[in-house]
Structures are given as structure tokens and as C-alpha cells.
Amino acid sequence: MRLKLGMVGGGQGAFIGAVHRIAARLDGHWDLVAAALSSDPARAAASAAELGIDRSYENYLDMAVAEAGRADGIDAVAIVTPNHLHAPVAEAFLRAGIHVICDKPLTATMAQAEHLAKVVAESGKQFILTHNYTAYPLIRQARAMVASGALGTIRLVNAEYLQDWLATPLEQTGSKQAEWRTDPARSGVGGAIGDIGTHALNLAGFVTGLQVTQLSADLTSFVPGRRLDDDAQVRLRFAGGAKGLLWASQVATGNENGLRLRVYGDKGGIEWQQENPNVLRFTPLGQPTQILTRAGAGSWPQAARVSRTPAGHPEGYLEGFATIYAEAAALIAHAKYGTPLDPAVTAPGLADGMLGMRFQVACVASSQADAAWVNV
Amino acid sequence: MRLKLGMVGGGQGAFIGAVHRIAARLDGHWDLVAAALSSDPARAAASAAELGIDRSYENYLDMAVAEAGRADGIDAVAIVTPNHLHAPVAEAFLRAGIHVICDKPLTATMAQAEHLAKVVAESGKQFILTHNYTAYPLIRQARAMVASGALGTIRLVNAEYLQDWLATPLEQTGSKQAEWRTDPARSGVGGAIGDIGTHALNLAGFVTGLQVTQLSADLTSFVPGRRLDDDAQVRLRFAGGAKGLLWASQVATGNENGLRLRVYGDKGGIEWQQENPNVLRFTPLGQPTQILTRAGAGSWPQAARVSRTPAGHPEGYLEGFATIYAEAAALIAHAKYGTPLDPAVTAPGLADGMLGMRFQVACVASSQADAAWVNV
Amino acid sequence: MRLKLGMVGGGQGAFIGAVHRIAARLDGHWDLVAAALSSDPARAAASAAELGIDRSYENYLDMAVAEAGRADGIDAVAIVTPNHLHAPVAEAFLRAGIHVICDKPLTATMAQAEHLAKVVAESGKQFILTHNYTAYPLIRQARAMVASGALGTIRLVNAEYLQDWLATPLEQTGSKQAEWRTDPARSGVGGAIGDIGTHALNLAGFVTGLQVTQLSADLTSFVPGRRLDDDAQVRLRFAGGAKGLLWASQVATGNENGLRLRVYGDKGGIEWQQENPNVLRFTPLGQPTQILTRAGAGSWPQAARVSRTPAGHPEGYLEGFATIYAEAAALIAHAKYGTPLDPAVTAPGLADGMLGMRFQVACVASSQADAAWVNV
Amino acid sequence: MRLKLGMVGGGQGAFIGAVHRIAARLDGHWDLVAAALSSDPARAAASAAELGIDRSYENYLDMAVAEAGRADGIDAVAIVTPNHLHAPVAEAFLRAGIHVICDKPLTATMAQAEHLAKVVAESGKQFILTHNYTAYPLIRQARAMVASGALGTIRLVNAEYLQDWLATPLEQTGSKQAEWRTDPARSGVGGAIGDIGTHALNLAGFVTGLQVTQLSADLTSFVPGRRLDDDAQVRLRFAGGAKGLLWASQVATGNENGLRLRVYGDKGGIEWQQENPNVLRFTPLGQPTQILTRAGAGSWPQAARVSRTPAGHPEGYLEGFATIYAEAAALIAHAKYGTPLDPAVTAPGLADGMLGMRFQVACVASSQADAAWVNV
């Protein structure tokens, strides 16, 4: 069945709003029918017209009320605002009985996050957090491989997320993207650690199933005048004894969107890179490394379930994002209309978001204490 | 504006039909509202129901007539049948005044192709052939680079399209995909040369702008009992003196969908591989090789125009295919509704298809003459 | 035991002479004690002094006679002159009873080659031709894999040797290396086809064990004024039905020393690239591709026998060349002093050289006949 | 001129002794004429005979005295014993007036290191430490690039050295290599941190010229029963504000000899991997990444000086090691015989060794204090 989607944020010039719209369309589960695309009413209306969205609202509060009151109202809202608005917008829609699909990180502050957690619990509605990287087919497979014991006991986890787009003081040159991401009032306590470090953490946890117990973080603002960290180096200790390194940087010159995961166990190891995501390197200890490809020889059902094309036909970032929307559709249709639910459906949600917030806060606390160990 | 799409072929179990549907949805230009998904009426109906398509037809002739007669009839039809049906289906819709988006190769036989060419000309309608690989952003850039003289005079062109899915007699095991692709009655005179060789030829021509004048082809059916070629090695001579090699194989063990292009000029060279399409290697003669990335440093406007995400967020096969549908939408909206047309819009069409047919026929003729040179 | 080596050619400024000297030293089997390093006596003497070679000769004829007459005379001579001198120099030493290690190609002309073949046969001496690429450990392994049936019946062989150093008329700018390699009087009938094409042919034959029966060659001189081919595209037919493509080019902009081999059989395929020679990709049909590394998991005894360091410690061009000298030492010590010989020792020799000459001549003949098929 | 070399350690079955011998031979600067190859006299004699070394000694003390007393005595001794013997052997030869080439790390204990430092100073002799990875041509170039300002101010340094050969308790299975490397009595306080971590540190310091001021280390012995660390994760702070991560592991399943360096500055970044050492990735901020190749376009004189072959002819581990021996020969010939010295000659020595020892000790201290910051 097709569901009806609303959107808050994501007007002209925003990157992630366009991504959510493509992701919602790609598998045909959603129609975008309502939106409050900008806090600037003129811009909101112009954006909606350009996108052919029938119901354009001047603010999200009106939208939540109006949509809840319509027989053909939206089934879910996608929240693609800067971080500090995630919580109030989500609350408005959840209180109105509307399911939520929210961009990460969860909120700008821990207080917001804790409040939102209560609201979600009280609402009984679905809350999907778009940690899209967990939806790459070979990441699904990697998770299944770890769970199956193919790597043995995990010893080492290395997650990197390296970019260079903030290697200069871009926020001082009028870049909207750079401005809010380096502004504590809109982003929260974390810069790189929040924007991309949470993705790396989420990916590592998703694949390994391991729980971080302690961390030690060293955050740096390399660019003069920058108010949030643009480099974060975090040591992780996991329950059970595994150790990890997480490195998130937005000043690593020469890296575009270098999310990379390496997991080494006592029976095998895997390596994966987001920029060429259709390949997973797997080394069973003492045997040659195998190149596992999405949908190719050596692919697992968990990868096939979220693949759309045969091996050798590269799927990328938007397909992974679309899988989040497909899984969200399945969960919300099940919740709202009772459609049957494939037990394999999984999507990141509130718990992932809360962990991301606790992680950010712990990193900042650790870094302020000169990288002391902090419990998570 | 949103256009209305119909589809012929592409019922349950077909690969390319699903690809066309995703491609049509991805950018939001098309609504799929009518279809004749299978020549088996029950299967057609079931497929349409599963896909939520309102108007399901038992055969394409009825569909063409009915849709032409409706005020809300389709703006274009997507043809995703086996090759031998491309011509009659296209003719039915063109005669009914409906624009056509057709999978490649153009037709199964040269006679069909010539007839279709006349029908297209008489119809005055758009005819788009989905040579999707030309829509990869870095292929658009490569074409612009060659045209700009960045490579100097082109000397050598090497196009490979290597697969291994037909390395065994798969067509004897019940594989629908393998059956029709190895059946002369449904595929035409070419096996690998038609199915994938035409893609390689089209890509080479699109990027270099060079015209093939002569070729010498050596086609082989390596798998016992196979009726069409599963390996094709073709030497190309281009107007102006450049030389080329085109190798299409479906028995190259270890290759999934290995389309690769290399172009060497007297001032520079480029290399590109479809399986990791967000990277283009460019070597200005005597300088270090540069890694040009889609939407990254060194990307050109021609790549940016058909990109959806920033550098490092991999786009793949479906995005390229979607660009064909986006360009088709622009062309058809312009033709039918007079919407303004960006002069940069380009899409493969009848001429590409005719060249592909002449190429196939010439390859078969050359091969039968022990790889003698044949004019194209 | 240590053997005594002489050298003809390879004075100051020559590339390949220095390579032979390093190769001879690397494993400690040879002492270079005598030389005629240049046809220019002053240059010969200066070069010898610089290299600390005790016995320097003004010409190779004197050297052959003198060394043959000494109790401590050389065991073998290394010939590293331009091609047209290989035959007379080799003859002088063979007639004097001295074993020969000769750079490839065998000679400049077929007549020289046939004469030399007789001389070698009459001499009963070892004649080693330094087709060094066959000595890479993973090439030895690849050969063993093919022989073992791991790839099944070979269907396709693709050998490329791409360079770009002659993309401009370098021979007109005073480059000694470029001058003789583009001069028919010193190189023979083949340009790229002789200089590097013979390496590619030799490598393909070494690995596959297949015999070329027919070829069709298209040779081109792209650079204006060049007298020999700088690009050679050759179709190969092998006994048993396998087909091959060999592409040798010295104008492929962006390629340094791109020797690459791909072999596809009905049970598996392999891919190897000389520029990163410690890796061999192997795909058993229907299974994931394996990354076989020199001396790593998945390496075979045939690779280990000619490896010097553990996996991950890259060995390169000079090590392969040194293996030729090590094998030559074993063969010559056995022939001359009766030392025991490991049956695994193998080195390219006269037969390889004769095949290379027939290949070149056939390529030129075919190309002159517009790429007609020629028997080899 | 050719120098005379002695060797202590490196008898049958030792890996690194054979490497030193090849390195010494490769460029023809050294003749190995004397040795005490094993502490077991029979094994020492047998090894020497096998290697054709004339003067074999039963112990290194006798050797030092005897060689010092001969007119044709050795110019230098190569020490390739387990770590705990480096100091006493070096002392014996230095006291005898013989130059020393010593494998790393410097010694097993800090006390030994400090004592040795005094001995070296008193002796006035050359002391070369074979941190061979600094001799790769592109590492020489990387150092020059950083020094020239091509990367701007360095912000981030990442050095990894990942292996997996100790992922199992190999030392319990009779492996001589594993035994002494995991034995504190023979290796010293560091396991992975000493064996390979010191290489990574040395490489990072060599390339960046930065001085470590503080570190925080987390050492782990993952394999049950292992007495030394097999994984070391070290945070580095450099004078001037740059930050670094150093990760040395011998249990990173799937890694053979994965030494990798990444350096990011405010104007550019570089990446290099030892397993494919002929390539250096360089990204000038905001421009496409360049593939710099050894001796190819974009190579610097600092790389060319230590290259032996043209671009595309891969040089590897042994060539880098040989460069250390070539530089050692130049330094020792200059010191002992007054031969002219190229000012570009550089070789790692005592200072590098002392830094490596302080580093190891600091890592162990930090790790014992739960990864507290420790001054270096």
C-alpha cells in the first residue's frame, strides 16, 4: 500500500530534504502530500509549489493539527530541519498521533532527547531515525555475518568517518550548510562528533551488536574561530572486552565522505567503505581474503532482501536511504493499518538516537576532562 | 510537471521492468498509471495489482487505443519486453500518438529497425532508447572533456563489457532471463554483442563523438549448445584514424557487470569503470593521474547537472537510469505541452538504436567471413 | 656456488644493463668480473671503472676469446645491447663455449634468429632469454593453477602491455632509449610489438600453456614520423579453441608499465597486474573472488619457491628479474659443474625467443595485409 | 667503493637476516665476509658454509676482536639478533672500532638503550638503525613535500601497522619467530608496540618532522596466555598542536603487513600504503586527488635519488632496505675512508632508536595507568 508523507524543513537549498524526498519516492511506498518546508512562509510556499506539494503550511504546528484532522491526512512526517528543531517538531506530530521519520542526530541537547523519549513512549507511535548507512545491503550482511559467528569473537572495531569540507572556515563565507552545523545553538554540543561521529557509532553498533561501556574522547576545533569540534578521536571499550577506535573528522584533507568500518574477530575480519559500498572484504583467518559483492556470489539473504538490482549494478547512498523509507513504510503500515510485517524488517529508532546523544555528551565530557574515561 | 507513464512488459520476475519503474519514480517526474505487463492475461493482472497500477490491459494494442482515447491517457509508454516485440509495440503506440521510451537494443532484426525508423519519423513523437550508461554523471563529464579537447586528438578507444552469468548453459536450466537472451527468435542475431556489446558501442560513441567506419568481429559461442554468441571481440576503425577494441563477453569468469571505457588521446587519457562509477581517472599527458569524483573537486557542470548528492555519496545504476527518465520527461513535456527545454538535455534515441542494429549486423557478417573488415 | 658473469652492453645511461647487474647480485649467485660495456672504448672503460669491474674489453669479440682462454674466465655472458647485436654477440660467446643470458627480443631479424638457433644447438650451451615477467611469484602460481585445472578449460586470454612514454616523438629529442627502440635498423621489424608485445605474448603462453595457431594484427604508428609501430592490437587463436586479445601500446596516455593478464576458463578466472604484482585475483566460477597474495594465505609452493619475503612485504620487478638470474645460475652450474638441479627450475630460453620472433614477423605480415589471419 | 660487512645473528630459519643480506648485496656496496650467525656453534658454522661466508665465528665477542685486528677486517657489522642482544653486540663492535648497522628496535630495555647511547657517543662510530620503511622513495618524497609546505600546517597524522600473524597463540606451536617476539626477556617491554609500533612512529616522525610531546596508550594482549601486547592503540600529541593516532596490531585478521600513513594539513593531504608502495595519493585542498607514482610524473628528486627503475616497474621492501644499506655505505665510507658524501644521504640512527625506546616505555606506562597521558 502507498502511504502519505508530510515533510518539515527541506526547502530550497537544503541537501538532506531532497535526499529524503528521493528516498521516499524510490520504492513507491510514499506520496509526499503536505509540507512546512521553511520557517520563512514565502520560501515555504515557493518550495512547495516547485515540488508540486498540494498542502503547504506556514508552520509545523498548524500542519500537525490540520493533518491530524483530515480524513486523508498524512501517515507520517519526515523531519529534516536543523537539529535543534527535531524535538519540538517531533513532539507536535507525535502528540497529534502522527508517526515520525526524523533525521539524525536525535536532538540538539540531552534534555530535549530525554523529553522526546517520553513523548515517543506516551504516543505509542513509530519513531524512525534515518541512520541510513545501516541500510546498505552489505552492512546488513556484515551484521548477519557477525551474528552468525563467522568472525568469531570480536576483538577490534575501527570506524572512521572522514570528510574535508570544513577544512576551511566555510561557515564564515555564507554557506548555510556550514553555518548551522558549526553553531552550537542549532547543532547542539557536538560538531563533527554529532554530525558524522554518531553515524560511525551507529554503524559500528549495528554491525557488531556490541555495547559501548566506556569511552575516551579527544575533540579538537582545528579551524580558527570554529565553535564546535571539527575532529573527534574516540577510544571505545565494549562489553566483553573488544576495543574500538572511532575517528570523525571534517578537516581530513582529501576525504569526501569517507565512512569506513573494519571489524576483526578471532576467526575472521571484514572491511567496508561507504564510497564503494557494493564490496565487502572478508578474510576468514588463515584463508585468502574474499571480495563479497552485493547480490553476487557470497552474498547473504540479508543483503538480497534490501537489494534492487543484480550484482555489478552499483547501488548507492540513495538506495540505502530508500530502504529506510521502505522499512518505515512497512512498520507504519503495520502499526496503523495492520498490514502483515516481515519479521526481518528493521529500522533505526529512538534507542539509536538516545545512544547517539549519550555518546556525544560523553565525548564532550571526556574531552573536557582531557580525554578521561567516561562511562556511557 | 508530472507526466503519466504506461508500461508494456515487465511483469513479475522480470528484472528490467522493475528497473524502469524505479527510474521513473526516482525524480518524481512520472506516475505509472497503465500497463500491459505480460502477454499472459492472468499474470498481467496480478502484476498490475501487486504494483498498484490502476489500468491493466490484456494486450498492448488495446492499451494503445484506449490510452490514446482518454483525456487522462498516458504521455508515454515504456517498452520492456524481449527484443522481438520492441518494434510492434512501439509502432502501436507511436501510431496512436503516444511517445515511446524503449529498452535497448532497438529491435530484433534490421528489417524491424528500418520499419520502426520510418514509423518514428512519420509519428513526429519522441523515441527514447534507454542506453542508461550514458547518463552516469562522469560519463557526461567525460564526453564534455573529450569535446573540449582536454584529451587532444583521440587515438585509442577501448570498451569492454564483461560478465560471467552465461558461463554455463543457464538457458537449459529454466532461467527466463537466459532463455530469451540466447534465443535468436526473441533476441535477434546478436547474443552478447546485442545484449551488452551495443551498450559498449553506444558508450564509446557517446563519450568520444567518433564515428565507426569499419569493423572486424570475431564472435564465439563458447558454451556448448548455445545458439548465439556469448563472446564478441570487435576491432573498430573510426573516421579520423582512431582505433578501437570492443570486447563483450558473458563467459568472462569473475566479472559481474564489467563495463569499462578507456580513451587515449595525444594530450590526455581517461579510464572509467561502471562498477565504481563515481570515479573517473584522468591523466593529462606527462602529469600525474587525477582522480575525478562525481560532484567533487574536478567535476564539471555536465556531471553536476545530473547529480543528486554531494561527492562521496555514491550514485549508481538506478540514478543513471533515472536520469534517462528525467531527460525523457523534459523532452516529452516540451514536445507535448510546450514546457521550456534546457538545451543541455540529451537522451539516446532512434539514431543510437539504428547504429546499434547496424553494428550488430555488421559484426555477425564480419564474423561469418572470418572476421573480415566490414563497413558500418 | 658463485658463478662469474660478463656483460656486453649496458654502459652509462643504459637502463636495462643496470637492471641486469642488480638482478645478478641480488641473490648472490653471480660476480660480475668482465665486460665490454660500450662500443665506444672510452665509454666502456669509464663505465667499467665506475662499476668496479676488473676486466674491461674494447669489444665483445676480444672479450669472448680472452675469457674463454682464462682459467678464471666467465661462466656466462649477459647481453644487454640493442636488439640487432644480440645475435652476433651471442654467437661469439657460444662459439667460445660460454653460456649466454640475453635480453629480449631474441634478435632484430628472423634471419638472425634462425642462424642463432643453429648456433645455440651446435654449442650445447645454455641460452637464457630474460623474459623476466614470467618470474613473478604469482605468475608462477598462475601457471600452476592453470595446469592443475583450477580454471577448467581456458576460453579467453587477454594480455595488455600499455605504456605512454612514446606518446610524443621522443626519439626526435635526443633520447637514446627512444632512438634505438624506434629505429628499424637496431630494433628490427617491430616497435611496440617487439619491445613489449613479445613480453605480453610470452607471459600469456607461460601462464596458459596454450599454443597460438593464428593471429590477426593491426599495427599503427600514431606519432607522426615514427618508423615502427607504437600500437599493436592482435587477435590470437589458440590450439583447442581458446581466443585471445593482445594489446601492446606505447601511446596509451596515463599508463606507465601496464602489463596485465586475464585468463578466463569454464571453471574459474584470474587477473593479474604487473604494477601491483603481489596480488592475484582468482574467481572460482560461482564463488566470491579471492585475493591471493604472494606468500600469503592461498599461495602455492610454486610462488613460495621464488619468494624471498613474507606476505605483505612487496617484491617487485627487480626480484623477478633476479629470479631469472638465480634460475640461470642453477642451470649453468648444473651444465658446467654438475651441481644438482632442482627439477622445478625453469627459465625462458631459445624457444621463447623463436616464438617471439615468429610472432613479430607474423604480426607485421598480418598488419600489412590489413589484419588478415596469418598462421604462426 | 665496496665495503666489508660482518653479521651477527641471522642463521638458518631467521627471516630478517636473509633480508639484510639481500639488502647489502643489491646495490653492490658490500661484501659479507665474516659472521657469527648463531649462538649455537654448529648452526653458526653450517649457516656460514651454506652462505659461502669465509670467516665464521663461534661468538660475537671473538669476532669483534678478531675483525678489528685484521688488515682486511670488516668495515661494519650488521646485528640481526633478537632485541635483547642488540646492545651487548653493538657495544662489542663499537668498542672494537667497528661501525654498526642494527635492526630495530634499538634494545630490549631502556637501561640498555641509555648505556648504548653512551657507547655510541664514545665510539665516534656510525650507528645505523634499519628503520627500512623510511627509505621507500615515495616516503622520501612525502617528507620533502611536507617540509616544502605542500600540505600546509599539519593537523592530523594517522599511522597504522596492522598484521594478523599473531591472531592465534602461534608462540605455543614452536614458531621461533613468534616465540622470541612474545617473550619479554628477549623482546623487551613491548610486543606489537615494539615490533611494529616503533616502525609506525618512526615513519610518522620521518615524514612529518613533528615531535611527539604526549601520548596516551591502550595496550592489549588479546590472545590468551600472551605475555606482551598484541594490539596497541596510541593517541599522539605533537608540538605545535597536531594530533595523531597510531594503531599497531598483530591480531587484525586479514592484514598481512599493513603499514599505512595518512597526513592531513590545512593545504593538502597524503596517503600511502606500504603494501603498494609505488603510489602516493596527494590531495591539494579543493583539487582532485593526484596519484603520484615512484619515478613517474609528479615524482620529486628525493624519490628519484633512491629509485633504481623507471615508473611502473614496482620496487618493494627489499629495495627500500637496500637503500638503508646504500646510505650506510656512504656514511661509513665517508667516516672511515673520507670518500665524499652527498649531503642528501640520510639514514635512521641512534636518535630514532632512543625515541622508539622512550615511546615504548611511555606506551607501557600510559597503558598501565589506564591510558593516562604521559610525556614523551
Is CATH 3.30.360.10 what the domain over C135-309+354-375 is classified as, yes or no?
Answer: yes
| Residue of chain C whose Cα is closest to the Cα of B269 | C253
pLDDT value of position C279: 98
**Residue of B221 and A12 predicted with greater confidence:** B221
User: Under a CB-based contact definition with an 8 Å cutoff, are residues C207 and C261 in contact?
Assistant: yes
Domain A3-125 matches domain A137-311+354-375 at the CATH topology level: no
Q: What is the spatial distance between Cα B315 and Cα A319, in angstroms, rounded to a whole number? A: 9
pLDDT value of position D15: 84
Report, as an integer, the average pLDDT of D10-16: 83
End-to-end CA distance of chain A: 41
Best of C291, C292, C293 to disrupt the A interface (most A CBs within 10 Å) is: C291
Boundaries of every domain in chain D: 3-125, 138-310+354-375
pLDDT value of position B128: 98
| Residue of chain B whose Cα is closest to the Cα of C214 | B370
Report, as an integer, the average pLDDT of C268-273: 98
Distance from CA of B292 to the nearest CA of D (A): 6
Is CATH 3.20.10.10 what the domain over D138-310+354-375 is classified as, yes or no?
Answer: no
pLDDT value of position B176: 84
Interface contact A309, partner B, CB < 8 A = yes
Of D2, D257, D296, the CB nearest to C313: D257
Over residues A272-289, the pLDDT tens digits come to 999 999 999 999 999 999
**Residue of B54 and B283 predicted with greater confidence:** B283
- Residue C176 confidence (pLDDT) above 90: no
Distance from CA of B281 to the nearest CA of D (A): 10
Contact across the interface for C283 and B373, Cβ inside 8 Å: no
Best of C158, C253, C263, C285 to disrupt the B interface (most B CBs within 10 Å) is: C253
Helix, strand or coil, per DSSP, at residue D206: helix
Interface contact B216, partner C, CB < 8 A = yes
Percent of chain B with pLDDT over 90: 94
Of D286, D291, D298, the CB nearest to B291: D291
Interface contact D365, partner C, CB < 8 A = no
Q: Which residues of C touch B267 (CB under 8 A)?
A: 253
| Residue of chain C whose Cα is closest to the Cα of B237 | C218
Chain A, 251-270: which have a CB under 8 Å from a chain D CB?
A: 251-255, 262, 264-270
In this prediction, residue C15 has a pLDDT band, given cuts at 50, 70 and 90, of: confident
Over residues B296-332, the pLDDT tens digits come to 999 999 999 999 999 999 999 999 999 999 999 999 9
Of D247, D253, D373, the CB nearest to A265: D253
Report, as an integer, the average pLDDT of C237-263: 98
Best of D138, D281, D291 to disrupt the B interface (most B CBs within 10 Å) is: D291
pLDDT value of position C177: 85
Interface contact C337, partner D, CB < 8 A = no
Mean pLDDT of chain A: 96
What cell numbers appear for A335 in the block?
Answer: 502499526
- Residue A130 confidence (pLDDT) above 90: yes
Contact across the interface for A243 and D254, Cβ inside 8 Å: no
Q: What is the spatial distance between Cα D8 and Cα D86, in angstroms, rounded to a whole number? A: 9
The number of C-alpha atoms within 13 Å of C239 and in the hemisphere containing its C-beta is 8
- Helix residue ranges, H only, A222-349: 301-304, 317-337
The torsion angles phi and psi of B335, rounded to 5 degrees, stand at: -65, -40
| Residue of chain B whose Cα is closest to the Cα of A30 | B25
Q: Which chains touch D (3 or more CB pairs under 8 A)?
A: A, B, C
Contact across the interface for D289 and B291, Cβ inside 8 Å: yes
Interface contact A342, partner B, CB < 8 A = no
Best of B141, B282, B289, B292 to disrupt the D interface (most D CBs within 10 Å) is: B289
Contact across the interface for B297 and D290, Cβ inside 8 Å: no
Contact across the interface for A22 and B27, Cβ inside 8 Å: yes
Q: What is the spatial distance between Cα C339 and Cα C347, in angstroms, rounded to a whole number? A: 17
What cell numbers appear for B266 in the block?
Answer: 595525444
Of D52, D276, D311, the CB nearest to C276: D276
**HEC per residue, chain B:** CCEEEEEECCCCCCHHHHHHHHHHHHCCCEEEEEEECCCCHHHHHHHHHHHCCCEECCCHHHHHHHHHHCCCCCCEEEECCCHHHHHHHHHHHHHCCCEEEECCCCCCCHHHHHHHHHHHHHHCCCEEECCHHHHCHHHHHHHHHHHHCCCCCEEEEEEEEECCCCCCCHHHCCCHHHHHHCCHHHHCCCCHHHHHHHHHHHHHHHHHCCCEEEEEEEEECCCCCCCCCCEEEEEEEECCCCEEEEEEECCCCCCCCEEEEEEEECCEEEEEECCCCCEEEEEECCCCEEEEECCCCCCCHHHHCCCCCCCCCCCCHHHHHHHHHHHHHHHHHHHHHCCCCCCCCCCCEHHHHHHHHHHHHHHHHHHHCCCCCEEC
| Residue of chain B whose Cα is closest to the Cα of D290 | B290
Over residues C194-249, the pLDDT tens digits come to 999 999 999 999 999 999 999 999 999 999 999 999 999 999 999 999 999 999 99
Q: Looking at residue A132, what DSSP letter applies?
A: G
Q: Which residues of A touch C293 (CB under 8 A)?
A: 288
Length of chain B: 376
Q: Which residues of B touch C268 (CB under 8 A)?
A: 253-254
User: D320-359: buried (b, 16+ CB within 10 Å) or exposed (e) per residue?
Assistant: bbbbbbbbbbbbbbebbeeeeeeeeebbbbbebbbbbbbb
In this prediction, residue D176 has a pLDDT band, given cuts at 50, 70 and 90, of: confident
Over residues C136-174, the pLDDT tens digits come to 999 999 999 999 999 999 999 999 999 999 999 999 998
Q: What is the spatial distance between Cα B23 and Cα B15, in angstroms, rounded to a whole number? A: 13
Contact across the interface for B313 and A317, Cβ inside 8 Å: yes
Q: Which chains touch B (3 or more CB pairs under 8 A)?
A: A, C, D
Helix, strand or coil, per DSSP, at residue C376: coil
Q: Looking at residue C349, what DSSP letter applies?
A: B
| Residue of chain C whose Cα is closest to the Cα of D291 | C254
Over residues D126-166, the pLDDT tens digits come to 999 999 999 999 999 999 999 999 999 999 999 999 999 99
Helix, strand or coil, per DSSP, at residue D292: strand
Of A286, A287, A297, the CB nearest to C286: A297
Interface contact C278, partner A, CB < 8 A = no
- Residue A228 confidence (pLDDT) above 90: yes
Contact across the interface for C222 and B247, Cβ inside 8 Å: no
- Residue C14 confidence (pLDDT) above 80: no
pLDDT value of position B13: 74
Contact across the interface for A52 and B312, Cβ inside 8 Å: no
Q: Which chains touch A (3 or more CB pairs under 8 A)?
A: B, C, D
- Residue C256 confidence (pLDDT) above 80: yes
Annotation: CATH topology of D3-125: Rossmann fold (3.40.50)
CA dihedral C302, C304, C306, C311 (to 10 degrees): 140
pLDDT value of position A218: 98
Give the contacts of B372 (CB within 8 A, at least 6 positions apart).
B216, B366
Of D243, D253, D371, the CB nearest to A268: D253
Helix, strand or coil, per DSSP, at residue A2: coil
The number of C-alpha atoms within 13 Å of D214 and in the hemisphere containing its C-beta is 12
Query: Structurally, what CATH architecture does the domain formed by A137-311+354-375 represent?
Result: 2-Layer Sandwich (3.30)
| Biggest CA pair distance of chain D | 63
Mean pLDDT of chain D: 96
Interface contact A28, partner B, CB < 8 A = yes
Contact across the interface for D288 and B288, Cβ inside 8 Å: no
| Residue of chain D whose Cα is closest to the Cα of C26 | D26
Helix, strand or coil, per DSSP, at residue C61: helix
In this prediction, residue B15 has a pLDDT band, given cuts at 50, 70 and 90, of: confident
Q: What is the spatial distance between Cα A64 and Cα A58, in angstroms, rounded to a whole number? A: 11
Q: CATH: 3.20.20.140, 3.30.360.10, 1.20.1510.10, 3.30.1460.30. Which one for B135-308+354-375? A: 3.30.360.10
Chain C, 143-202: which have a CB under 8 Å from a chain D CB?
A: 163
| Residue of chain C whose Cα is closest to the Cα of A280 | C288
Q: Which residues of A touch D264 (CB under 8 A)?
A: 164, 249, 251-254
In this prediction, residue B187 has a pLDDT band, given cuts at 50, 70 and 90, of: confident
CB atoms within 10 A of CB C176: 12
pLDDT value of position B186: 87
pLDDT value of position A299: 95
